Amino acid sequence: MTDDKDVLRDVWFGRIPTCFTLYQDEITEREAEPYYLLLPRISYLTLVTDKVKKHFQKVMRQEEVSEIWFEYEGTPLKWHYPIGLLFDLHASNTALPWSITVHFKNFPEKDLLHCHSKDVIEAHFMACIKEADALKHKSQVINEMQKKDHKQLWMGLQNDKFEQFWAINRKLMEYPPEENGFRYIPFRIYQ
């Protein structure tokens, strides 16, 4: 793993320049300026857009604001997909910055999972990690870790702390010397 550290860092620090615009039908008290942000490819929309939410809520009335959701060219964006995946699926052939529309009304119940708190994102992220380890190590490595290790993995992602994250993740990426590799290599294909 140490040989791959450069690759690991490049993957971790990948960013997509994004322009957030408020949906035109949202009711505002004054004009909403677009908001620009570099989004981490490996993170999740609802984890990294607190500033976006605050920016647009400043020009809206309290009662007009409910759960935030994002859309690209009419398609609701699934926050539970990593940002890099969303970009590659929807907008990889278009010019940067990526233009995302922000909504606070008419949450699309049939398309998107709800995300009322960071706990939801943490639960989703940890479920993915656990399922991957079920394939790699029959869940042995993840189950042997203490709760604080799980927390450190999550906090590393949430706070963009490469070293903190990989201090724990490297254990999930090891295999016992007597084995030639993982039992199965987990990957997901999206189209």
Partner 1 sequence: QEPPDDSEAAGVRSAEEVIRYEYHVLYSSSYQVPVLYFRACFLDGRPLTLDEIWGSVHASYQARLQEGPWDTITQQEHPILGQPFFVLHPCRTNEFISAVLRGSQGQHRQTNYITLWLSTVGPVVGLNLPLSYAKLAPEQSTDADLL
86 near partner 1 (CB under 8 A): no
- The CA-to-CA distance between both ends of the chain, in Å, stands at 30
Binding mask 116-145 for partner 1 (x = CB under 8 A): x--xx-xxx-xx--xx--xx---x------
Interacting residues with partner 1 between 171 and 190 (CB under 8 A): 186
Stretch that binds partner 1, among 11-19, 56-64, 93-101, 103-111 (CB under 8 A): 103-111
- Residue closer to partner 1 (CB basis): 22 or 153: 153
The residue type of 63 is E
151 near partner 1 (CB under 8 A): no
Task: Give dist(CA 175, CA 180) in Å, integer.
Answer: 8
Task: Give dist(CA 126, CA 48) in Å, integer.
Answer: 17
Pairing of strands 15-22, 35-40: antiparallel
Sheet with 98-103, strands from edge to edge, namely 35-40, 15-22, 98-103, 69-72, 75-76
Interacting residues with partner 1 between 34 and 73 (CB under 8 A): none
- Token duo for residue 96: 């940067």
Among 42, 60, 112, 141, binds partner 1 (CB under 8 A): 112
Which residues sit at the interface with partner 1, rule CB under 8 A? 78, 80, 109-114, 116, 119-120, 122-124, 126-127, 130-131, 134-135, 139, 186
